[in-house]
Amino acid sequence: LKHIGVLTSGGDAPGMNAAIRAVVRACTHYDLKVSGIHEGYQGLIDGNFQELDARAVAHIINRGGTMLKSARCMEFRSKEGREKAYEQAKKQGLDALVVIGGDGSFTGASLFSKEFDIPVVGIPGTIDNDIYGTDYTIGFDTALNTVVDAIDKIRDTATSHNRLFFIECMGRDAGFIALNAGIAGGATEILIPEDDKEVDDVVAKLKASRDAKKSSNIVLVAEGDQLGGDVFKLARDAGERLPGYDIRVSVLGHIQRGGSPTCSDRVLGSRLGVAAIEQLMSGHSGIMVGLRNDTVTTETLHDAITKKPGINRNLMHVAEIVSL
């Protein structure tokens, strides 16, 4: 093993830079050549490579996004596209690949590692925390803090005007962001895809909140929740049955993906970046490095993408109790 490539793919996440930095510095430490591949799998196909040394990744650990840029690449979904990527990898003299991304990126990485003789290790980088085999994905903690900060700000308005806010947050098909940020932000109700609450439940909870004399209410809705598909409609439907409430809707959007990574995401990115290189050096491929119980672990890419990480039922229980 002499030359390793690293790329970021899919949605960007704060802390990806910390992982890139760790990959590069681990390569420097172990005397390996490392190339940053720009714009994900598209850059792999096009040969958009840049050799990196330890100094090339200075001053990025504190920056959101990814210095290598990310891309969605349709071509890599086909066998022909992956063949082109392999030809390019060989042309550039790559011996192994580190892919930082979410489940889509890992699906591509898994196929690539099976089809060609090039070892691949994945690092979970997505704000959604929806990857099996790690307690946390890189970017999740930063996104949580951003959402909680936004809720706190909206809360000021909600309290000053006795308003009810429906806030939509990200999370794709999972409710990890909503459940955690909802508890931390003091939401009256949290709607997540793992639960099957109806408008009736929301209305009942808000009536109970009124009886309990809460002066402001926030309903945090995960974008993947069945009712959250259209948060404006949900607010209207609930509002019709909640006379006297002054209702507003706020969709948090892409602010959730940006910003300086938290300490936790920087440390996670650093640990997983080093682990990815050490796994490749030990001859492993087709795996993802993750963190469980504060210990670096590995999972097959196959399991990482096919198994579903379970939502923490205890958090749902706690949310019910502390919301009123």
- Judged by CB under 6 A, does residue 11 bind ligand ATP? yes
The yes or no reply on residue 134 touching ligand ATP (CB under 6 A) is no
Residue tagged active-site, from 128, 130, 141, 225:
128
Going residue by residue from 15 to 34, which x/- string records binding to ligand ATP, judged by CB under 6 A?
--------------------
Q: Of the listed pieces 98-106, 157-165, 199-207, 224-232, which binds ligand ATP according to CB under 6 A? A: 98-106
Based on the residue annotation, tell me whether 173 is a catalytic residue of this protein.
Answer: no
Residue 156's CB: how many other CB atoms inside 10 A? 10
In the bound state with ligand ATP, the residue whose beta carbon lies nearer, of 125 and 164, is 125
Q: Which residues are CB-contacts of 60 (< 8 A; sequence separation ≥ 6)?
A: 17, 18, 20, 21, 67
Q: Strand, coil or helix: what is 133?
A: coil
With CB under 6 A as the contact rule, the residue among 88, 105, 250, 279 that binds ligand ATP is: 105
How many angstroms separate the CA atoms of 123 and 105, rounded?
A: 10
> Looking at 4, 44, 57, 73, which residue binds ligand ATP (CB under 6 A)?
73
Report which of 251, 253, 186, 242 is spatially closest to residue 214, judged by C-alpha positions: 186
Residue 317 structure tokens: 């229980």
What is the rounded distance in angstroms from the CA atom of residue 42 to the CA atom of residue 64?
Answer: 21
Q: C-beta of 307: minimal distance to ligand ATP in Å?
A: 15
Residue 10 touches ligand ATP, criterion: CB under 6 A: yes
304, 121 in Cβ contact below 8 A? no
Footprint of ligand ATP on this chain (CB under 6 A)?
9-11, 41, 72-73, 76-77, 101-105, 107-108, 111, 126, 128
Which residues are part of the catalytic machinery?
128
